[in-house]
Amino acid sequence: MMTRLSDTTATFRPDDAAGPVAPGRILQALATVMAPMLVASSAPLGLLMGSGCSSNAPPGYETVALITIDTWRRDHFSEAHTPALWELAAQGERFDNAWSPIGLTSPSHATMLTGLQPWEHGMEANNHHGYRLPDGAQTWPETAPAGTRTAACVSAFPAGPDGGLAQGFDRFDGPEAGERSGEVAVERAIEWLSEDGPAWLWVHVYEPHGPYAGTGPDDVSRYAEEVRRADTILVPLLEVLEKRQARVVVAADHGEVLLEETCGRQHERSTSEHVLRVPLFRWEPGRASAVRSERVGLDVVPDLLAGRAWGDGSLEARTATPAESGLCEPGCAPGCAPLGVLGRDRVVLDDTGRWVARPGRGVFVEGRPRPEHRTLLDSIPAVPAPGTVVDTPELRALGYTGPDGRSGPSIGP
């Protein structure tokens, strides 16, 4: 039976805390101080805290971890922006041409947990929009071998259990509304990993998502600060996973719009490269490092977690990737109708352009996409109407709207 632990203060951030400093905070402070050393050094990540995995005997059991960072752009995955993750990826298998199916948290994570596209697994928008993962969809933790403990520690309601993302996890830890600091999710995950034995874990960090909490003068600099903060937050967890010689997959659910489009900070209304092209890599002991330029989608994540080699299962190059926008808003996608999820774009992207099917406008091209990819648009069905909608002040504070593109529970025409 799933155990659900809920944070009583959904928007808690460590700087607001009073009282004794928890051990996890001490680790975080040490990681923050030492993070610049990581950029200057070519030493393995494990040496950051004084003990690399090479000095540890194999634990004799399997640990597999999925780490997801919300709203993380591909161009903010670098030695400058994410030094700890970049160092780990340099020792692993990095996918430089990975694409999300949608700029929404719930359906993108459902794709990573099932290996299916949103129109295949059925969670076509966020949980608060009234969409959920059907009980019949098989999730990654449901494939764990007997005797394997499974847990998820997430940082925001759209990645939470409401809507079905908890399916298959023995333990699910997340806020009941709004968000919480990624530090809380990391501390809970490390605590859970203190028990020996095979373990499968999902950790979700929300920091790069708006509204940005950085101190810079504009959204661009504050967003970069939030990305760097997410990288620093994850260092203690990466240390523990390396000591356990875990297989680790790191991905973003989607990216972000900054100044490139009319609707800044509106990733759910866009199918641009800034939103759909995402960081993705895998690290595990004994796997040769590689940088892959082949196009892949986030539906490959279960095969990466399973340890499959390139060329096995879904791990093969694609000539095009299908995707959707999250919502229609005519100011962001001219001509779309109706407002909200029912008027979203359907797109097929390849290396030379994209085919777009926009309700209210029809089918058109951007760039010079290959003609044979036109038929792939027909594989993306129209979005069904949403179910029960969740509307709370905490969700509005994060910029979320109802499925009609407005705050509130209406579903539009």
In SS3 terms, the chain reads as: CCEEECCCCCCCCHHHCCCCCCHHHHHHHHHHHHHHHHHHCCCCHHHHHCCCHHHCCCCCCCEEEEEEECCCCHHHCCCCCCHHHHHHHHCCEEECCEECCECCHHHHHHHHHHCCCHHHHCCCCCHHHCCCCCCCCCCHHHHCCCCCEEEEECCEHHHCHHHHHCCCCCEEECCCCCECCHHHHHHHHHHHHCCCCCEEEEEEECCCCCCCCCCCCCHHHHHHHHHHHHHHHHHHHHHHHHHCCCEEEEEECCCCCCCCCCCCCCHHHCCCHHHHEECEEEECCCCCCEEECCCEEHHHHHHHHCCCCCCCCCCCCCCCEEEECCCECCCCCCCCCCCEHHHCCEEEEECCEEEEEECCCEEEEEECCCHHHHHHHHHCCCCCCCCCCCCCHHHHHCCCCCCCCCCCCCCCC
pLDDT band of residue 264 (cuts 50, 70, 90) is low
* Whole-prediction pTM: 0.83
Work out the average pLDDT over 346-350.
Answer: 97
Per-residue confidence band for 26, with pLDDT thresholds at 50, 70 and 90: very low
Q: Which of 112-126, 323-337, 392-406 has the lowest mean pLDDT?
A: 392-406
268 closest CA partner among 224, 211, 329: 329
CA angle 96, 100, 103 (to 5 degrees): 130
pLDDT surpassing 50 at residue 43: no
**pLDDT score, position 39:** 38
pLDDT number for residue 269: 81
Percent of the chain with pLDDT over 70: 79
- Comparing 101 with 45, which gets the higher pLDDT? 101
pLDDT at 267: 85
Q: Tell me which of 25 and 131 has the higher pLDDT.
A: 131
Name the pLDDT band for 349 (thresholds 50, 70, 90).
very high
Return all residues near 363 (Cβ < 8 A) that are at least 6 apart. 355, 356, 357, 374, 377
Least confident window among 123-127, 193-197, 328-332, 392-396: 392-396
Confidence of residue 397 (pLDDT cuts 50, 70, 90): low
* pLDDT on residue 313: 82
pLDDT band at 385 (very low <50, low <70, confident <90, very high): confident
Over 60: is that where the pLDDT of 55 sits?
Answer: no
Query: How much is the average pLDDT of 383-407?
Result: 61
Q: What is the mean pLDDT of residues 315-331?
A: 94
Q: What is the pLDDT of residue 386?
A: 82
- Domains recognised in the chain with CATH numbers: 62-305 (3.40.720.10), 321-383 (no CATH)
* pLDDT higher than 50, residue 20: no
Q: What is the mean pLDDT of the chain?
A: 84
Which neighbouring-strand residues pair with 367? 353
CB within 8 Å of 127: residues ≥ 6 apart: 106, 157, 158, 160, 162, 163, 164, 165, 390
Q: Provide the pLDDT confidence category of residue 389 given band limits of 50, 70 and 90.
A: low
